[in-house]
Every structure is written in C-alpha cells, then in structure tokens.
Structure 1
Amino acid sequence: MTTDERTPAPWWRHGTLLVGQAVAMVLLGLLVTYAAADGRPLAAEDGIVRALAAHRGPLADTVTAWLSTAASTEMVIGLALLCVVALLVAPRVPLRAEALFLGASVAAQSAVFLLVTAFVERPRPDVERLDGAPPTSSFPSGHVGASAALYGGLAVLALRRLRGPWRLIAATLLFLVPPAVALSRMYRGMHHPSDVVGGLLNATSTLLVMGSAFLTERAPASDTRPGTRAVPGLTTGFRALVVRHPLSCPDDLAGQIRTLLDRHGCAEQQWTSTSAERPCGELAGRTGLDGVDLVVVCGGDGTVQACADVLSGTGVPLALAPCGTGNLLARNLGLPTDTLTALEEALEGADFGIDVGRLTGDGLTPARFTVMVGAGFDAAMVRDASPALKARLGWPAYALSAARHLGDPRMRLTLRLDGGRPLRRSARMVAIGNVGTLQGGLELLPGARPDSGRLEVVLLDPHGPAGWLSALTHLAARALPWRTTDPDPASGDAGPVAGGALEYFTASRVDLRFDRPQAREADGEVLSDGTRLSVAVEPSALRVRLPRSPASVVADAVPAVTGGAPSPLTSPSLPTVGKAEGSRRPSAVET
C-alpha cells in the first residue's frame, strides 16, 4: 500500500497568492482613500481618532509609546532575526520550517506594505500626532502589519510547538499584541481605523500564505521511491512491551506514556527497565515475542540500539519514545523532539522497514546499530563526555568533550569497501552511518538514508586550524535551509570536499584496520579500543512504527540516493548482507 507521503506545494503557487494579495491590498487602499475623500461611508473614522485624542493622559501616552516601539521597523526586524536564529540553533533538531515561516512572513508582509504605499497615498488623521509621521501612506498601517506578522507568527508557533497550560497563555498574549498596537496607533493620531484594519488584513493574509508554504504539506498521488511500502497500523487491543531507561524516562513521563498507550487502545502493557548489565531490560531474555505486538523504547540511542539488536529480523515493530541525550535515530526518521508527541504520531502511523548495521571487531561481541559507528575523534569525544554535564546540558556536553580532543594525533588506517582493494588513509576520525544528520541539523553523512541498503562512510582529516575551519564551514553550510543542492554523495562524482578535509564513500560492507588501537563507539555507546572494525548492512531488517516513510523524510532534506534497495516488509527472516561493489570519491593516495 502507499502511505500518506507528504511534499510541499510548488513555490509558484504561494508566489501567485502573494501577488494576488498585493493587488487586492492596492485596490482596497484606493477604494478606502476614495471613500474617505468622498466623505461616505468612512465619515465617522475621524471622529473615532479625535475621541481617542481627547482622552489622552500620561499613563496612556507611555503605554502606547511602548507598543509603538514594539512594532517599530527596527524592533520587528531585530526580534524576527533573533527568533529565526533561536529556532535554528536552540532546539535539538533545527525547526527549519518554523524559522522559514516566521522570517518569510515578516519579510513578505513588509514587501506587500511597501508596494501598496507606492500606489496609495492616503493622508493621516487631522489631529495632533504624538509620533513623527513617516513619508508613507496612512493605509495600511505598517506598525500594525509588522506586529501582526511577527507576534501573530510567534503565536502560531506557540500553538504548534508548546505543550501544557503555557501553550494557550503564550499564544493568547502574543495574539493580543497586534490589536493593542492598532489601538495605540489610532490613539497617537497616526492612523484611521480602516488603516489598522488594512494592516491586520495584510499580515493575516501573509501568515496564511506562508503557513501554507512552510507549515502544511500535501500528499502526492503516488510515490515509487524505495522504502515507501508500509504495513498497516495496529488495531485496538494490541499488546505492548515497554522498555524504559529509568534515568531518561522518569516516573512522571512513564505515567504519561502509560496513559497515551491506553488511549490508543493498548490492551496489555508489560514494562521492563534497563540497567548497565541489561541495556534492553528483559527483552533480550525472552524466549519469544509471540505475546507482543509492539515494543516501545523509552530512552536514547543506546537503548534503541540494544532493543534493535534483539528485534531485527523478528518482524515485531519498534516504536520510539525518544528521551535520551541525542535521539539521533528519532531525529533522522522525522519524529518530533517531544517524547509524547513523537510516540503519539508513531502510534497513528504504519510500520516501515529500515536498515541496520552489523558490527564486529577485535574484542567486540557482534551487535547491530541503527545510527552510526565511529573511531578516533568522535569515539574519544563520546567516551570522555561528562555524565553530569550530559544530564544537565544534553548534547552540548559532547561539544565540550570534543574541544579536548582537537589536538589528538591522526590515525593511520586501511579501508576496504565491499571486499575491494585496500585503500590506505590517515584521518582524525572515521564514521560509518545508516543515517547522517547530527544534533543541530549538522549533516555529517548527507547521502545516508535508513532504507537505502547501503552505508555511508566519511573520513575527517583536517590539517591545521585552516583544515578544521574548512571542514566545519562546509558542514555548517549544509545545515542552512537555503543551501544549494550538493551532488549525490553516493555517486562518486563530487570527490573529496572542504579542501580534502572530508572524504566520502558508500558500500554495503566496510572493513577497517588501524595501525594502533583506537577509541570506538556505536550509537553513542563506548566500545573497547581496538584495531579492527567491520560493518555490514542488513537491509530492512528492523520494523519501525512511523508517521511517514523514511524516504519521504530524507526527500525533504537532501536528494534521494539512487540505487538503494527497497524495503518492503515481506518476510520476518533476517535479510542477507549485500555484496555490491562499493563506490567512493577519488582521493590522493591508494595502495
């Protein structure tokens, strides 16, 4: 069956709507100006402004001055920029759509306002004005339009993202700002009532258009990309096994998850807690999963990895309730950052097959992973991150740990892709990923996709401060929402990037041998140091309950990787690891 895959409407539709909005506002402005000059039916407007001016007082003068300042051009632009940056940087996953919605709303409203004032020349009220009059038409009110675009847009985002009692309180307070600004502008003698109504109409229309462009999506008729086939969702009366990390999922959150599962028709809940000795609780010790329809994982990537190792190939779906430090798998699968929202959306979705990687190496017990494995710089960073700081700061604790290892010596290694000839390299870090986006929207592996049947590999080898700067600039540029599309990393066409500081490969099996023992990690869990690391992909081995397919999530961010294997959920048996020839980006020295 085809799921409700969602893609944004073409940009030209929203551009056409904005042009239509501008034309309508110009016509409305000309009509209002003509009607006011004729004296009917807007004769009463001057009386309203004069009545407000007659009741001026020191307190009202001060309050309306504050409101006018809050809606001034400088204040609106400054606050809009701060909010856009905050939406991109502060959350664990950048809220790009919300940032684009807010920034575009403020900019588009201003553009329409300037266009209207170029054609409409309505005089301001004939009363004493408390502010200096700008050389623009009284219609529409620029202050009211700007405040409605900014504060109204923030109110929409508050309703969209906040939870709990503060959600409605924050949205209500923000929605009240534009009407308060409208009243203050009339009180201060700057606009007629129809002018402030025009400003509100302009901003409201802009918010509707930008909301349609960035906050809502439309489903295409069909989609033939890999990974779009799904198994229907759960029916009422399903049985769930909940694996809970007791530190990441405290008692109050666990209680909310119980209630959520009950509300979605769960007939039986079995709960098990993880420990250092049992990272997936009692899941690994069960002789069978016949009495389980769904496994809910309440924890971070380490808990998910331990559960995925057990569930891969069984046909029993896994649902994510992300509440760890990184939650990288949930982020890359398009789930919300809020634990309860992510689980609720997953429960309302369908089951999709995603790949897992199988990891072996000297001194390691064979295990599967869902996100990525690494050696060198990133593994040392994970190993030395302070548990106390992780509990207090979250993922920024890793950044503090990373700063301590910037000067670590590079490692010498031999890389073999799909059994091909060995490639000799030096690097600070090697990462092999099933998915590629890190915290903050940083795309370390831009070609990685969880249903492609392939693994992506990156070698990080910057030389000196300039090399680090080049690598970081390249990766940071990819996180920008307006970036240009890069070549497909799996095609081998782009070559090394960032002046050779980054080099990419793709394969279904990757074998690494290091000259000296190196720090190693898998899905954020520290492994013992060693000299060998072998990783093979198991296509579509894990069933995950998601609101939409992994292919549609990746298509919203980067071009789909060609040549990937589809992931229909046709068999619970463990898939065979592929042996296709790996592809790479050319580099300097090979042996």
Structure 2
Amino acid sequence: MTPASRNRSLGSAALAALLFGILAILVTRDRAPLDRFDVEGRRLEDWADDSSFVVDVLRIIEVAFGTVGMAILTALLVLALVVRRQRWAAVLAAVVMLATSLATTGIKRWLGRDRPDWQDTLGLHENFSFPSGHASSTGAFAAILVMLLVLFVRRTSLRRLGIGLTVGWWLLVCLDRLLLGRHFPTDVIAGSLMGVGIFFLALAFIDPRPRSIAARAEPLPEVYASQRRLAVILNPIKVEDVGQFRAIVGAMAEESGWSEPTWQYTTIEDPGRGMAERAAVSGADLVMVCGGDGTVREVCAELAGTGIPVGIIPAGTGNLLARNLDVPLYLRSAIDVALNGQDRAIDLVKVGGDGIEDTHFMVMAGMGFDAAIMEGVNEQIKKRIGWVAYVVSGLRSLMFPAMKVEIQIDDDEPTVHRARTVVVGNVGFLQAGMPLLPDATIDDGVLDVVILHPKQFLSWIPLAVRVLRKSAVVDELIDRRTGARVRIKASVDTPRQLDGDSIGLGRELWAECIHGRLLVRVPR
C-alpha cells in the first residue's frame, strides 16, 4: 500500500472517530440538541406496530443479522477468501469484524446508555444501547464487501449492482433497529461510524491485495541471459480504462526488472495472430496477452513452438484456459504471475472440419448442446451480466435434439452413438467450473472425450449429479474416451464451438493433440 493510500485510510478512520466521539459526548452528557432527533424513533416504531407482518419481517432481520448471524457470515466470508487464496483479504475481514465486536461491547458497557422505553416488547433488549451492535457489525461487513467488489469484480455493471445491494442491506438492518424501537437514531449512526471507522483503520495497516511473487520468492534461475523484453497484446474492448491498464503493467514490469513493454492492440480483422507474429519476430522474451478466450487462443496458436512464454491476463467471460492453469482472475495478480511466474509446457490441439479452416484450440471443442449454448448467447446480455448469459442460453437449449454420431479414437474402429453433445477436452474444468472431464490434464499428450445423452428432460438431473461427483461410471448417459486423435461425424448439420466460440454448423470435427507445444506462465 502506498503512503498516499495509507494516509487516506487513516484520514477516513480519524473522521469517523471524530464524529463518533461527538455523538458519544452528546448522548451521555447534555444531549438536549439531539433529544428531538432521537424521539423521532418513537414515530417509526409506532408505524411498524400497525402491521403484524412488518413486525414479523423485522424480527427475522433482527435475528438473522445479530451476533450469531454475523459471526457465521464472517466465518463463511473468511473461508471463501482463504479458499480463493486471498489470504490478506481474509485477514483484514477477520480483524475488522473481531475488533468491531469487541469495541462495540466495550463502549456499550463504558457509556451505559439505556434502551428506548418504546421498544417492541417481544424479545425485549435490556443491555445497553449506544452504539448499535447490529449497525456496527453490518457497517463493517458492508465496507469489507464493497472493498472486495472494487478489487475483484471487473465488470462495471456487476460491481455497481453488488455495491448497491450491499448498501441497501446495511440500510435495511439499520432501519430495522429503529422500527423495532431497539435503538435511538444516534445509536444506529454511531454504530455505523464505528464499523466503517475500524475498517479504514485496519485497511491502513493490512493491504488486502495479493502479495507479489517477486516480493516473496527467490528469482528463478535463467537458462540463458535475457534482455527481458516484454511485448503486450491487448484486446482494448476487454478493459475499462486502457490508459490505466498500461500504467499498471508498465509500473509492475519496471518493478520486476522487465524492459518498457511494447504495445499492440487486436482488431476485428486480426484478433491476435498478426500481433503475436510481430512480437516473436521483434525478439520478445515474454508475450503478455490480455483478452478473452478467443484472443488468448489466437496468440497462443501463433506462438506455439517458438519457445516464447505467454503470460495470460484473463479479461473475458469464461477465461477457461486461465482457470485451468490456476492463473488468478484478479488483474494485478495475473500480471504478477505473467512477469514473475514459472514456465509450463502445455499441449496444443490442432482442429479442423467441414467448412472451417484448420486451426487450434487450447481448452475444448464440441458439437451439439454445448455449441448451441454458445451460439444462443446474446452478446448485449453477455456484456451486462457476464457468465449468467450462458446460463440463460443453456436453459433455452436443454432439449437440444439428440443426434447420431460416429466417433473414431486414434486408429481404432469408429463407434456409433446417440448423443445430445460431444465434447473434446484438453483440460478438466469447463464453464462455471464444471468438472466434465475430471481426468483430463493439459500436458498429458492425450485428449479426453465425453459423450452425453440425457434421453429426457429430467435425465439432466442425474447427469449433473454424476458430473459434479466426478463419477467414473460409464454408460449411455455419460460415455468417456481418450486418445491423441479424435474424429467426430454427425448425421445432420450440428452447431460446433472452439473454446466457447461458435464456429457454425457442420457435420465433422477432428482434433489432434500436439504434446508440450506451448510455454505459458503459471503461478510458482
């Protein structure tokens, strides 16, 4: 954290503490200026009393976000952050919530302000009133959630939606305290100030962002002397602020000992291959590519076999290759991995079929239901709600008609199957983290094939259960094959896709695994 950021956090914490202190003095000594304001809480409680339904809802909110409920929410949040390897964010969340709880309890006992005499009689609170524990805990928790949304959610629309829902939830809990008459309005305001103030104080000393690999690991030994020339290929529509992105990459590259990066932007006419070729010819020691799966595929296909490592900055909706390589989706962490990670040789898959030029894919190819999902995604909806657009398309395509397919693995005799979809995978996890090919690895030199044939609508339920359990059972519902070469022939024109991008209708698709063809940067 920079000194300027720390000073801003300390300044915000000091302002919250000052306002809290003023309220504390006014409510425990001569609080005549605030009497009229606090008494307004009686009117709110009287209004809520007129509706038994409203009171029932308020009591549910009271219990759900009380001490026990907030402790459970905090534990779940900390656990989720640890699982996602955001350890410092987890530490910050735990420290803020624990400190808020202790400070609220201590100040309540110290100041000893009585509860309003008009509070709801059911579940009467007899402990002290100032500040509100519900308001302080939800205020602190809301501040943590807003911070996480700002740090880790790239899509502006989703980030704004998340922040709006978070603030709305906090206000609802605060209003609940007034409508039930549990607190004076100044109790709720003070509690919120305390929670937010403690958050900013902790933020000044605990940086929630992931630590740089360069800062905590020994440099990797170099096989040959490198001038550390960096080339960056960017799909400009995938980042909100190109100038800011360039500044971040430039600063982190300089910090890690790389040269000033050269920049190239993809276009509709050239989604990445031409830029990758120019980067290779110019002698780049590392090519960083920022974009969706399509951009990453084009750049990787061009750099395969050159020995130039590719650093992936995932900025799309699926980010399938990045997810399967454990490349973090957080922008700065991904850049850090690209600059300071280690190289891994992975397989590339050559693919072709009727009506398409021979090309390559990194993650998967498919015919049938999965391709119909990609084909049915509305791009405008996808820009607004991200991966949820695939769910919407998937629900519409669930009863994609079964087809007759002939599948040949390596030099074996072809076999005939009935299927709704056939997927050829180079990795184990596909969209939404679905472990459709649990035994697949990206550097084993073979392809994994799964043939899905749910005969009825309800058959999707046992299919999903078996996939999520990574069941090894093979039958007509789920059939699996492996081989270095795969050829699929359908009886009718069928939708096809590569790495989540629709490539149109056709009756044939073939794939060949090229072992260890590409170097990519992965976490150490």
Name the TM-score, length of structure 1 as normaliser.
Answer: 0.57
> Could you tell which deviates more after superposition, 513-522 or 73-82?
73-82
The answer to whether structure 1 residue 59 and structure 2 residue 37 are counterparts is yes
The CA distance in 2 between the partners of 1:161 and 1:442, in whole Å, is 24
Instruction: Please list the CA deviations of residues 328-371 of structure 1 after superposition, one character each: whole Å capped at 9, or x if unmatched.
Output: 22233333434455324432423223332222334443322112
The CA distance in 2 between the partners of 1:283 and 1:424, in whole Å, is 42
The CA distance in 2 between the partners of 1:380 and 1:138, in whole Å, is 60
1:61-460 residue pairs with structure 2 within 5 A?
Answer: 61=39, 72-75=62-65, 131=119, 134=123, 144=133, 150-163=138-151, 238-249=228-239, 252-253=241-242, 255-263=243-251, 264-265=253-254, 266-283=258-275, 285-286=277-278, 288-289=280-281, 291-460=283-452
> Do the aligned residues in 2 keep the contact of 1:231 with 1:350 (CA within 8 Å)?
no
> Do the aligned residues in 2 keep the contact of 1:455 with 1:507 (CA within 8 Å)?
yes
> Do the aligned residues in 1 keep the contact of 2:230 with 2:285 (CA within 8 Å)?
yes
Choose the corresponding residue for 2:515, options 526, 533, 539: 539
The CA distance in 2 between the partners of 1:153 and 1:524, in whole Å, is 36
Choose the corresponding residue for 2:474, options 491, 495, 498: 495
One-letter code of the match for 2:343?
A: D
One-letter code of the match for 1:366?
A: D
The CA distance in 2 between the partners of 1:334 and 1:65, in whole Å, is 55
> Do the aligned residues in 2 keep the contact of 1:245 with 1:298 (CA within 8 Å)?
yes
One-letter code of the match for 2:228?
A: F
Per the alignment, do residues 127 and 298 of structure 1 end up closer, same or farther by CA in structure 2, a change over 3 Å counting? closer
Q: Which has the higher helix share?
A: 2
Instruction: Please list the CA deviations of residues 32-61 of structure 1 after superposition, one character each: whole Å capped at 9, or x if unmatched.
Output: xxxxxxxxxxxxxxx999759998724235
SS of residue in 1 equivalent to 2:480: strand
Note the C-alpha offset of 1:466: 1.0
The CA distance in 1 between the partners of 2:224 and 2:73, in whole Å, is 39
Instruction: Please list the CA deviations of residues 103-151 of structure 1 after superposition, one character each: whole Å capped at 9, or x if unmatched.
Output: x98xx99xx99xxxxxxxxxx988875546858995999973x666654
Per the alignment, do residues 138 and 318 of structure 1 end up closer, same or farther by CA in structure 2, a change over 3 Å counting? same
The CA distance in 2 between the partners of 1:237 and 1:66, in whole Å, is 70
Q: State the match for 2:3 in structure 1.
A: none
> Do the aligned residues in 1 keep the contact of 2:231 with 2:279 (CA within 8 Å)?
no
Note the C-alpha offset of 1:306: 0.8
The CA distance in 2 between the partners of 1:433 and 1:336, in whole Å, is 21
SS of residue in 2 equivalent to 1:467: helix
The CA distance in 1 between the partners of 2:394 and 2:400, in whole Å, is 10
Higher relative contact order (CA 8 A, sep 6+): 1
Per the alignment, do residues 272 and 64 of structure 1 end up closer, same or farther by CA in structure 2, a change over 3 Å counting? farther
> Do the aligned residues in 2 keep the contact of 1:375 with 1:430 (CA within 8 Å)?
yes
Note the C-alpha offset of 1:427: 0.8
Per the alignment, do residues 412 and 61 of structure 1 end up closer, same or farther by CA in structure 2, a change over 3 Å counting? farther
Choose the corresponding residue for 1:510, options 474, 486, 501: 486
Instruction: Please list the CA deviations of residues 218-262 of structure 1 after superposition, one character each: whole Å capped at 9, or x if unmatched.
Output: x9xxxxxxxxxx876999963222223243346x32x22322232
> Do the aligned residues in 2 keep the contact of 1:53 with 1:127 (CA within 8 Å)?
no
One-letter code of the match for 1:533?
A: L
Instruction: Please list the CA deviations of residues 54-82 of structure 1 after superposition, one character each: whole Å capped at 9, or x if unmatched.
Output: 98724235579999x79832345999799
Note the C-alpha offset of 1:520: 1.6
The answer to whether structure 1 residue 527 and structure 2 residue 512 are counterparts is no
> Do the aligned residues in 2 keep the contact of 1:233 with 1:349 (CA within 8 Å)?
no
The CA distance in 2 between the partners of 1:157 and 1:312, in whole Å, is 41
The CA distance in 2 between the partners of 1:439 and 1:282, in whole Å, is 28
The CA distance in 1 between the partners of 2:221 and 2:421, in whole Å, is 38
Instruction: Please list the CA deviations of residues 523-546 of structure 1 after superposition, one character each: whole Å capped at 9, or x if unmatched.
Output: 123335333323233333222223
The CA distance in 1 between the partners of 2:395 and 2:346, in whole Å, is 34
> Aligned residues: percent identity?
28
Per the alignment, do residues 136 and 357 of structure 1 end up closer, same or farther by CA in structure 2, a change over 3 Å counting? farther
SS of residue in 2 equivalent to 1:495: coil
The CA distance in 2 between the partners of 1:140 and 1:448, in whole Å, is 58
> Do the aligned residues in 2 keep the contact of 1:53 with 1:187 (CA within 8 Å)?
no
Query: Between Structure 1 and Structure 2, how many residues are aligned?
Result: 432
> Do the aligned residues in 1 keep the contact of 2:234 with 2:291 (CA within 8 Å)?
yes
Instruction: Please list the CA deviations of residues 433-472 of structure 1 after superposition, one character each: whole Å capped at 9, or x if unmatched.
Output: 2234344443333333334444332222112221134434
Instruction: Please list the CA deviations of residues 254-284 of structure 1 after superposition, one character each: whole Å capped at 9, or x if unmatched.
Output: x223222321224243333333442215236
Note the C-alpha offset of 1:473: 5.5
> Do the aligned residues in 2 keep the contact of 1:519 with 1:530 (CA within 8 Å)?
yes
Per the alignment, do residues 80 and 455 of structure 1 end up closer, same or farther by CA in structure 2, a change over 3 Å counting? farther
The CA distance in 2 between the partners of 1:451 and 1:138, in whole Å, is 62
SS of residue in 1 equivalent to 2:373: helix
**Unaligned 5+ residue runs, structure 1?**
1-46, 88-93, 114-123, 220-229, 479-485, 550-591
- Quote the RMSD (CA, aligned, Å): 5.6
Per the alignment, do residues 74 and 453 of structure 1 end up closer, same or farther by CA in structure 2, a change over 3 Å counting? same
Choose the corresponding residue for 2:459, options 447, 467, 479: 467
Instruction: Please list the CA deviations of residues 403-432 of structure 1 after superposition, one character each: whole Å capped at 9, or x if unmatched.
Output: 443343211112333444543211111112
